[in-house]
Structure 1
Amino acid sequence: MSTEIKKQLKKGQLSPVYLLYGTENFLINEIKQEIITTALNQEEYDFNLSTYDMNEVSVETAVEDAETLPFMGEKRVVILKNAAFLTGTKEKQKVEHNLKRLETYINDPVPYTCLIIEAPYEKLDERKKVVKLIKKQFEVLHASPMNEKLVYSWLYERAGEHHITLTSDGADRLLQLLGAKLMLLSSEIAKMALYVGEGGEINSETVDLLVARTLENDIFALVDRVVHRKLEEAFRILYDLFQQNEEPIKIAALLVRQFRIIYHVKELTRRGYSQKQIAATLKIHPYGVKVAAGQAKFFKGKDLSAIIAAFAEADYQMKTGFMDKKLILEMLITKLKND
C-alpha cells in the first residue's frame, strides 16, 4: 500500500526516483499527485513539470530533461508514463529505448529532480537490471487490486485522514453499495466528512443518506428489505423506482439475479466452498458473496428455487400482458414476504 510513501511526503521527504506500477490506477494517480504537490508550487508546474509518454518518446529524451536544472525553482518533476519496457511484453514498441541510459541515471540521479516512472501493468520483469536497480534503491508502489482486509484498512485510513470515524457498519454499507471502487469510495468519504464535520462519525445511516443512489443500489436495498421481511420499506423503494420510470420487467430481472446469487452462494457454501472460491466461481465481487451468504441464512434451498420460479412466471405474465406489470411485481414482492 501507499502508506509509507505518504508518511514521507507529509514530512517533505522526497525520493529522487519513484516507481509506481500495478493496475489500481487510483492509487498510482493519487501518489503521483502528492509527489508533485510536495515537490512544486502550482506556479512552477509550467516550468518544472514534464510528462513523457514512453509509447511516443524515447527514455533518453526524458532522462535529459530530468538532468536539466529547474527554472525559477528548486525542484523538477519528470514523469515517464506507460513504461512498458519494464515488463516482459513481447510486443514491438513504437519507440526504441536505451535502457543503459536510464540505468546510468538510476545509479546517480540528480538531487533536484523527482523522476516518476509509471507502469500501469500487473507485473514487471524482475530479471531486468533497471527494475532491480530501482527496487533496491528507491521508492516503489505496487498498486494492485486490494483484497477485502486491505480495502477495509484503506477505508479506515482514509477516514482518519479526514479526521472522522468510520464505523464497521458504515464501511460494510459503503462496500455493499460501491464495491472496491477506490475513486468512488474516496470521493464519497470526502463528501460525508464535510457533512459530519471534523471529529464526526460515518455509520450506515450516514451512508444511506448521502451516497448517490443507483438502480443497482436500490435493487440491493429492496432485496435486503424483502429478506428481512420489512414489507413497508420494500414497497417504499419499489414505488420510488416506479416514480423514476424504471421498467418493471427490468426491476424484476435485477431482483431475480440477486436471488440467483443468493441461491448459488448457499449451494456452494453447502458444498464446502470458501467465500473466495465462490467469488471466483460466480465471477462476482467478494463483498457480494459476503452479503449474499448472510441473506442465504434466511432461506432454505427449496425456498430460493421457488422464488426463482415465481420470478420466471412473473416475467412471462408481464411480457404477455396478463395484467398490469406494476401490479404483478407488487403481488410478487408481497408473496416473497410471506414465503
Structure 2
Amino acid sequence: MTPNEALKQLKNGQVKNFIILSGEDHYLKQHMLSAVQGALHIDMPELNLSVFEDRPDPKTVLCAMETLPFMSEKRITVIKGTDILSAQAAGDLSAAYMQSNMPASNFLVILTQGNADKRKAFVKFVIKQGMFVECNTMQDQDICAFVKNRAKQKGLMVSSKNAQVINEIGGGDLSTIANEVDKLSCICKGEISTADIEKYAVKSMQYNVYKIHDLMMGGHPQQASALISKMLEEDSNPIGFITLLSNNFRQMLVARACRDAKFPDRKTISHIVEATGAREFAARRALEHCKPFTAKKLRDAINKFAQMDFDAKQGVVSLKTDLFALLVDIYST
C-alpha cells in the first residue's frame, strides 16, 4: 500500500500487528513510523517501546515482541535501518518473527534499508496479514502537494509554482524540503512568496548549478559570474561542483538523443530518469533546455568539464579564475 493509504487506515484505527516500511525515501519511512506510534498511543514509551537497528539478535527481538505491555494497552517493537529483508540478505533472517507468540496488544514495525524483497516468506506474510507500506520516491506533483499541505498546517499559503521551487531547492529530498518549509513558516506571514524563498531558503549546490545555467542561457553572464564567485568564496574547491555542472549537460545529452530519435516527451523523461538517476523535475528541465544544443555540442561540453576537473585536481587551473571562462566558451559555441 502507499503511505497515503496507510495513513487513512491508521486514522480509522486499523493498525495491523506486523508493519513493514519499505522503500528508498528515509523521510517517508520516519514519517510513517511517527504516524504508527501516534495511532497506537503508547503509554510510558520508556517501558513499552523497544528500538533496534541493523541486524539485532532475533532472540532479543523476540523477547521484546513477546513482552506484555506495562501500564499501557499496547507495546511496540521497532527495527530501524535493517537489511534483513533485502534481496542481498542470505536466507530468511526474519523467519522467527513470523513464528513468534506476540500478543495481540503488541506491534512489530520494521524500517528497511531500501526495498524489501517480496519473495521472502515474512514479507509475503506481512503483505497478506499486516501492513506493507512502500515508501518510494515521490513524484513532483506529490512533493508539491506535500509542500502546500505542510505550509497549510503552518497557517501559510504557497502557490504551485513556488512549491515546485522549494522542491527544486531541496533536490527532491523530503527531509530538506520539510526543514525549508518549517523555517520559512517562522519568517513569512500569510504566504510564502518568491522573494521569501530567494532571500531565506538555503540553496543546494545542485539548485545553484541550475540557476547558473538559467542565467547563462538567459543572457545574464555577469549574474552567473557573481553567483559562481559567491559559491567559491564559501568553498574554493567545492566537492562535486564540476560534476554537477557536467551532469546537467549529461541529462541534456540524453534528452537530445531522445528528441532526435523522436521519442514522445513522457518516454524521454522516463529515459532520462532511468539513464542518469535524475529527479523528475531535473528530467523535465533537461528536456526543455536541450533544445538549443546539438548532441555534439553537449558531448563537447561534457568533455571540457572532465578536462577542467582533472586539471583542477592537478593544480593546473583554478576554478576561481578559469571556470567562468569555460562556461562562456561552452554557452557561446
> Is the structural similarity TM-score above 0.5?
yes
State whether residues 12 and 38 of structure 1, in contact with CA within 8 Å, keep that contact through their aligned partners in structure 2: yes
Specify whether residues 161 and 120 from structure 1 end up closer, same or farther in structure 2 by C-alpha distance, changes over 3 A only: farther
Partner of 2:248: 258
Report deviation, 1:138: 3.1
Partner of 2:99: 101
Partner of 1:48: 48
Q: 1:139 aligns with which of 104, 123, 131?
A: 131
Structure 1's unaligned 5+ residue stretches are: none
Specify whether residues 156 and 127 from structure 1 end up closer, same or farther in structure 2 by C-alpha distance, changes over 3 A only: same
Q: In structure 2, what residue type is equivalent to 1:295?
A: H
What is the TM-score with the length of structure 1 in the denominator? 0.74
Q: 2:164 aligns with which of 172, 196, 204?
A: 172
Partner of 2:116: 123
- Structure 1 CA distance for aligned equivalents of residues 311 and 120 of structure 2: 62
Partner of 2:23: 22
- Structure 2 CA distance for aligned equivalents of residues 321 and 62 of structure 1: 54
- Structure 2 CA distance for aligned equivalents of residues 116 and 310 of structure 1: 50
- What do the CA deviations read for 1:156-211 (whole angstroms, capped 9, x no partner)? 444444443332322332333332222212222222233324xx333544333222
- Structure 1 CA distance for aligned equivalents of residues 272 and 251 of structure 2: 10
Correspondence 1:230 to 2:228:
no
State whether residues 168 and 203 of structure 1, in contact with CA within 8 Å, keep that contact through their aligned partners in structure 2: no
Secondary structure of residue in 2 paired with 1:196: coil
State whether residues 155 and 171 of structure 1, in contact with CA within 8 Å, keep that contact through their aligned partners in structure 2: yes
State whether residues 279 and 285 of structure 1, in contact with CA within 8 Å, keep that contact through their aligned partners in structure 2: yes
Partner of 2:176: 184
Specify whether residues 205 and 65 from structure 1 end up closer, same or farther in structure 2 by C-alpha distance, changes over 3 A only: same
Partner of 1:267: 257
Secondary structure of residue in 2 paired with 1:183: helix
Report deviation, 1:222: 1.2
Report deviation, 1:67: 4.0
Secondary structure of residue in 2 paired with 1:201: coil
Specify whether residues 321 and 154 from structure 1 end up closer, same or farther in structure 2 by C-alpha distance, changes over 3 A only: closer
State whether residues 222 and 234 of structure 1, in contact with CA within 8 Å, keep that contact through their aligned partners in structure 2: yes
Correspondence 1:280 to 2:274:
yes
Specify whether residues 79 and 90 from structure 1 end up closer, same or farther in structure 2 by C-alpha distance, changes over 3 A only: closer
Partner of 1:35: 36
Correspondence 1:295 to 2:282:
no
- Structure 1 CA distance for aligned equivalents of residues 11 and 17 of structure 2: 16
- Structure 2 CA distance for aligned equivalents of residues 67 and 249 of structure 1: 49
Specify whether residues 325 and 100 from structure 1 end up closer, same or farther in structure 2 by C-alpha distance, changes over 3 A only: closer
- Structure 2 CA distance for aligned equivalents of residues 51 and 246 of structure 1: 42
Written as runs of structure 1 = structure 2, the 5 A alignment for 1:71-86 is 71-81=70-80
- What do the CA deviations read for 1:51-95 (whole angstroms, capped 9, x no partner)? 245833226x544534433223332222245676656656157x7
Report deviation, 1:226: 0.6
Specify whether residues 306 and 63 from structure 1 end up closer, same or farther in structure 2 by C-alpha distance, changes over 3 A only: closer
Secondary structure of residue in 1 paired with 2:262: coil
Q: In structure 1, what residue type is equivalent to 2:219?
A: R
Partner of 1:69: 68
- What do the CA deviations read for 1:126-172 (whole angstroms, capped 9, x no partner)? 462x4444333333311223344544444444444444333232233
Partner of 1:58: 58
Percent identity at matched positions? 20
- Structure 2 CA distance for aligned equivalents of residues 265 and 2 of structure 1: 32
State whether residues 248 and 326 of structure 1, in contact with CA within 8 Å, keep that contact through their aligned partners in structure 2: no
- Structure 2 CA distance for aligned equivalents of residues 54 and 322 of structure 1: 45
Q: 1:193 aligns with which of 169, 185, 192?
A: 185
Specify whether residues 324 and 149 from structure 1 end up closer, same or farther in structure 2 by C-alpha distance, changes over 3 A only: closer
Q: In structure 2, what residue type is equivalent to 1:184?
A: T
Secondary structure of residue in 2 paired with 1:166: coil
Secondary structure of residue in 2 paired with 1:19: strand
- Structure 2 CA distance for aligned equivalents of residues 3 and 326 of structure 1: 47
Query: Pairwise CA RMSD of aligned residues?
Result: 4.2
Specify whether residues 13 and 206 from structure 1 end up closer, same or farther in structure 2 by C-alpha distance, changes over 3 A only: farther
Correspondence 1:239 to 2:233:
no
Structure 2's unaligned 5+ residue stretches are: none
What is the TM-score with the length of structure 2 in the denominator? 0.75
- Structure 1 CA distance for aligned equivalents of residues 242 and 114 of structure 2: 39
- Structure 2 CA distance for aligned equivalents of residues 52 and 253 of structure 1: 37
Q: 2:203 aligns with which of 213, 230, 255?
A: 213
State whether residues 231 and 337 of structure 1, in contact with CA within 8 Å, keep that contact through their aligned partners in structure 2: no
Specify whether residues 30 and 100 from structure 1 end up closer, same or farther in structure 2 by C-alpha distance, changes over 3 A only: closer
Secondary structure of residue in 1 paired with 2:99: helix
Specify whether residues 16 and 255 from structure 1 end up closer, same or farther in structure 2 by C-alpha distance, changes over 3 A only: closer
Secondary structure of residue in 2 paired with 1:184: helix
State whether residues 18 and 108 of structure 2, in contact with CA within 8 Å, keep that contact through their aligned partners in structure 1: yes
